[in-house]
């Protein structure tokens, strides 16, 4: 059975998840009821649906270097090949040792403001308190990044910033924008370079085979080692680390399905 047919058969269930996420997200955003909707509960609610959705898409996830993650807050810097990359990161942060006292790590994403009105993801974004940024309004963008740092410190979450700005259209890793590293210096936070392999192939809905997506958490870069560097230099160094483990996907990259995922 190809992925397109699996999505069609599971449409009622997926639509129900989306409606529920919008309902909870709207209530939380309006009332900010932390007692009724605590951060870990909201994160795990989204995580559970993400795990099921990725299974429908035929995605098998392999995580390498989970122990390289420092205690949050910190900044995760992944390459960006698919609209599903945020879901991949969310799942990669799941505690691999169920039954222990260690809870799932929680991400908080920096995303383009255009995604704020995306019908399929808006509810989930509200639930995990995604910070939206308008790159055409530099002053507001800086305030948004400061809010991202504030929330990640208060709630002990990982900031997730995709420094390419937009997902790759050809499977190559683009330039890392220096502005993405402002938070690391201002917040004195460690940086964790992250390599995501094969996620670009998820959007090929004609396939029948499963896809193994690999997430590699590289060793953290501590603040003292980059505080005196220019942001551009930090961006180039982190990109080199990410690229060392990056494997360009071999298969069909179907961009027309990216907005449908």
The single residue listed with the structure tokens 């990669």 is 92
Q: SS3 string of 106-119?
A: CEEEEEEHHHHHCC
* % of the chain residues with pLDDT over 70: 96
Cα–Cα distances in Å, from 57 out to 98, 122, 155, 261? 24, 20, 31, 9
Q: In terms of residue numbers, what domain contains 8?
A: 3-260
Which CATH number covers residue 165? 3.40.1130
pLDDT at 40: 92
- What average pLDDT does the chain have? 91
Residue range 155-174: mean pLDDT, rounded: 91
pLDDT band at 112 (very low <50, low <70, confident <90, very high): confident
C-alpha 81/C-alpha 196 separation (Å) is 8
Whether the Cβ atoms of residue 20 and residue 120 lie closer than 8 Å to each other: no
pLDDT in tens, 130-143: 999 988 888 888 89
**pTM for the full model?**
0.93
Token pair listed for 237 = 């160094």
- As for how many domains the chain has, the answer is 1
Residue 67, SS3 per DSSP: helix
| Edge-to-edge strand list for the sheet holding 211-217 | 59-64, 211-217, 191-197, 74-78, 158-160, 107-112, 131-133
């Amino acid at each position: 059975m190809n992925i397109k047919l699996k999505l069609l058969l599971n449409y009622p269930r997926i639509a129900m998840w989306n409606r529920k996420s919008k309902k909870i997200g709207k209530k939380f955003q309006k009332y900010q009821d932390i007692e009724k909707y605590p951060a870990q509960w909201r994160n795990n609610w989204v995580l559970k649906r993400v795990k099921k959705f990725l299974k429908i898409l035929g995605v098998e996830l392999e995580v390498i270097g989970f122990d390289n993650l420092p205690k949050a807050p910190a900044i995760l810097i992944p390459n960006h090949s698919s609209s599903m990359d945020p879901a991949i990161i969310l799942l990669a942060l799941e505690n691999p040792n169920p039954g222990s006292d260690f809870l799932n790590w929680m991400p908080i994403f920096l995303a383009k403001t255009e995604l704020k009105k995306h019908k399929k993801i808006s509810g989930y974004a509200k639930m995990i308190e995604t910070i939206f940024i308008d790159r055409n309004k530099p002053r507001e963008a800086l305030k948004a990044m400061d809010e991202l740092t504030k929330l990640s410190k208060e709630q002990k979450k990982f900031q997730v910033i995709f420094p390419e700005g937009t997902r790759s259209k050809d499977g190559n890793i683009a330039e890392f924008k220096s502005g993405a590293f402002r938070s690391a210096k201002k917040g004195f936070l460690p940086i964790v370079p992250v390599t995501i392999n094969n996620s670009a192939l998820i959007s090929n809905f004609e396939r029948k085979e499963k896809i193994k997506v690999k997430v590699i958490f590289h060793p953290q870069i501590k603040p003292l080692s980059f505080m005196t560097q220019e942001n551009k230099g930090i961006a180039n160094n982190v990109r080199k680390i990410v690229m060392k483990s990056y494997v360009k996907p071999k298969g069909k990259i179907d961009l027309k399905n990216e907005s449908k995922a």
